[in-house]
Amino acid sequence: MGKPNDLVQGTLDLLILKTLSPEPKHGWAIAKRIQQVSGEVLQVQQGSLYPALHRLEQQGWIEANWAESETGRKAKFYALTTDGRAQLEKETTNWNRLSAAIDLVMNEG
Backbone angles phi, psi at 78, to 5 degrees: -105, 140
By beta-carbon proximity to another protein, the closer residue of 69 and 92 is: 69
* Contact pattern for another protein over residues 62 through 101, marking x by CB under 8 A: -x--x--x-x-xxxx----xxx------------------
By beta-carbon proximity to another protein, the closer residue of 2 and 47 is: 47
Query: Angle, to 10 degrees, between the axis of helix 27-37 and the axis of helix 46-59?
Result: 110
Cβ contacts of residue 9 below 8 Å, gap of 6+?
Answer: 52
User: Looking only at residues 2 through 21 of this chain, which bind another protein when binding is defined by CB under 8 A?
Assistant: none
What's the min distance (Å) between Cβ of 24 and another protein?
A: 14
Torsion on CA atoms 23, 5, 92, 42, rounded to nearest 10: -60
By beta-carbon proximity to another protein, the closer residue of 47 and 96 is: 47
Choices 13-21, 39-47, 92-100, 101-109; region in contact with another protein by CB under 8 A: 39-47
Tell me the CA end-to-end span of the chain in Å, nearest whole number.
27
